[in-house]
Amino acid sequence: MIATDTPSIGAELGGDSLRLTRRSHLGARDVFRLATLGLRGRPARAVLSAAGIALGVATVVGVLGISTSSRAQLISEIDALGTNLLTVSPSPSISGGTPTLPARAPAMVRRIGPVQSASALGAVGGGVAIYRTDRIPAVNTDAVSVYAAQPTLLSTLQGHVARGRFLNAATANLPAVVLGASAASALGIDRADGAVEVWLGGRWFDVVGVLDPLQLAPELDRSAFVGFHAAEHLLGASGRVVEIFVRTAPASVGAVQSVLAATADPAAPQDVSVTDPTDALVARADASAAFESLFLAVGGVAVLVGGIGIANVMVISVLERRGEIGLRRALGATRAHIGLQFVAESALMGGVGGVTGGLLGGLASSLYSAARAWHAVVPASAFGAAVAAAVVVGAVAGLHPALKASRMAPAEALRTV
């Protein structure tokens, strides 16, 4: 029986002695199968472990979805109102006096070719306030401002009256007042049928109109408007112009914007500031998004805590599955294969949590948007990034348990079961 030929051993293995030099091999698809197998083996545990990450991702995707939807909604509302509105106002003066525009400014601005309409807002003396009755102490002004307004103001701002009507050529000369939405509710007035009077500048004014909130000039909602003529003759105002609202042809907004200052005050154009109110509104929407970061931070912490939960479960799982680890090593798995299996399982758990959370977050933001009649927008990049982050957190959480599993001595793992 003694011989030195090795081919017989090759024949033993099926006639191919090279098979011995073959290494252990595990395909990528099989790694994924092993990961799903591990999760299916203990489904309840897998679901509970993934829940933490799911919650975090749902928070992140939900918050981003809601804020994106709300911003998109605001921008579409602004677009509907027209982005061709500009405001002209005097820059705050260095001397400290109340800055004003020249009296001729509105007429000059109106002469710019592409300007469709220009409406001036005038100051009414500082001491003039509006009260519900003449019995109210002078200090209780309800913080309602009084302005002189041209009859075209409402159409220039594309605002609407809730009740009554805006000032017209006739009422602009009379003791008549139109209230902004907040001003009306501050004064407790909800009708404008000519039967309600307010105490304004020491005499009675008829309330002829109440406005809806002004989307493009929300700062005017807590104001009362009288005609320029009435302001000058009944309230002793000087007729100083403090702001001009300008509607231009949509294609010429930039061109008009560049000449407005010099037109409004040729002597001192540097004292005039020209703004696009839609810029301010969008900027305000962006600023309110700063609150999101708090929620996003909470979501991020939840994802991390979820990762710690997964790490915990995986450590226990490795201890419980010593037998399986030993068996796989006996079947030919390398240390790396064992480690890879547990990392893949952990990453998959994170991924399942991430996708579930992403869908929940998207659903939540869609429902919220639907309840507000918004067009729901769930940013795909946020969804993708959140799921990717969940997978990474899961994989990192699995590193330590996977290392433990891969270092387990196979004979010992088989014996201790």
Partner 1 sequence: MIRGTVLELDRVTKCYAGSPPVVALGSVTLRVCRGEMLAVVGPSGSGKSTLLAIAGTLERASSGDVRVAGAAVGHLGDRELAGIRAHAIGFVFQQFFLVPTLTALDNVATGLLYRGIDETGRRRAARAALDAVGLGRRTAHRPGALSGGECQRVAIARALVGEPAVILADEPTGNVDSRQGAEIVELLRELNRLGSTIVVVTHNEGLARGLPRTVRMRDGIVEHDSGATG
Phi, psi of 100 (to 5 degrees): -140, 165
The stretch among 33-41, 92-100, 262-270, 396-404 that binds partner 1 (CB under 8 A) is 33-41
The stretch among 15-23, 132-140, 163-171, 367-375 that binds partner 1 (CB under 8 A) is 15-23
Among 1, 139, 251, 380, binds partner 1 (CB under 8 A): 1
CA distance 116 to 157: 12
Bridge-based pairing of strands 223-227 and 176-179 is antiparallel
Residue 320 binds partner 1, judged by CB under 8 A: no
Handedness of CA 330, 336, 306, 351 (dihedral sign): negative
- For the CB of residue 16, give the shortest distance to partner 1 in the complex, in Å: 10
Residue 247 binds partner 1, judged by CB under 8 A: no
Contacts of 395 (CB under 8 A, 6+ apart): 343, 346, 347, 350
Among 163, 240, 247, 337, binds partner 1 (CB under 8 A): 337
- For the CB of residue 385, give the shortest distance to partner 1 in the complex, in Å: 33
Contacts of 210 (CB under 8 A, 6+ apart): 161, 162, 163, 164, 178, 179, 181, 184, 189, 190, 191, 192
Closest CA to 170 of 187, 151, 157: 151
How buried is residue 188: exposed, middle or buried, by Cβ count under 10 Å (0-12/13-18/19+)?
Answer: exposed
CA distance 367 to 78: 23
The stretch among 87-95, 96-104, 246-254, 333-341 that binds partner 1 (CB under 8 A) is 333-341
Handedness of CA 145, 146, 148, 153 (dihedral sign): positive
Nearer to partner 1, 36 or 173 (CB): 36
- For the CB of residue 36, give the shortest distance to partner 1 in the complex, in Å: 10
Among 335, 379, 403, 404, binds partner 1 (CB under 8 A): 335
The stretch among 148-156, 309-317, 393-401, 404-412 that binds partner 1 (CB under 8 A) is 404-412
- For the CB of residue 336, give the shortest distance to partner 1 in the complex, in Å: 8
- For the CB of residue 396, give the shortest distance to partner 1 in the complex, in Å: 24
SS3 150: coil
Using CB under 8 A as the binding rule, the residues of this chain from 125 to 154 that contact partner 1 are: none
Closest CA to 36 of 386, 391, 330, 346: 346
Contacts of 280 (CB under 8 A, 6+ apart): none
- For the CB of residue 380, give the shortest distance to partner 1 in the complex, in Å: 33
Residue 319 binds partner 1, judged by CB under 8 A: no
CA distance 183 to 384: 46
Strands (E), 223-381: 223-227, 241-248, 272-275
Residue 9 binds partner 1, judged by CB under 8 A: yes
Using CB under 8 A as the binding rule, the residues of this chain from 34 to 63 that contact partner 1 are: 37, 40-41
- For the CB of residue 10, give the shortest distance to partner 1 in the complex, in Å: 8
Following CA atoms 335, 341, 347, 348 in sequence, which dihedral angle do they give, to the nearest 10 degrees? Answer: 180
Residue 332 binds partner 1, judged by CB under 8 A: yes
Residue 24 binds partner 1, judged by CB under 8 A: yes
The stretch among 22-30, 225-233, 290-298, 383-391 that binds partner 1 (CB under 8 A) is 22-30
The stretch among 14-22, 149-157, 163-171, 230-238 that binds partner 1 (CB under 8 A) is 14-22
Nearer to partner 1, 36 or 257 (CB): 36
Q: Which neighbouring-strand residues pair with 164? A: 209
Among 44, 287, 331, 380, binds partner 1 (CB under 8 A): 331
Q: Which residues bind partner 1 (CB under 8 A)?
A: 1-6, 8-10, 12-14, 17, 19-27, 29-30, 37, 40-41, 323-324, 326-337, 409-411, 414-415, 417
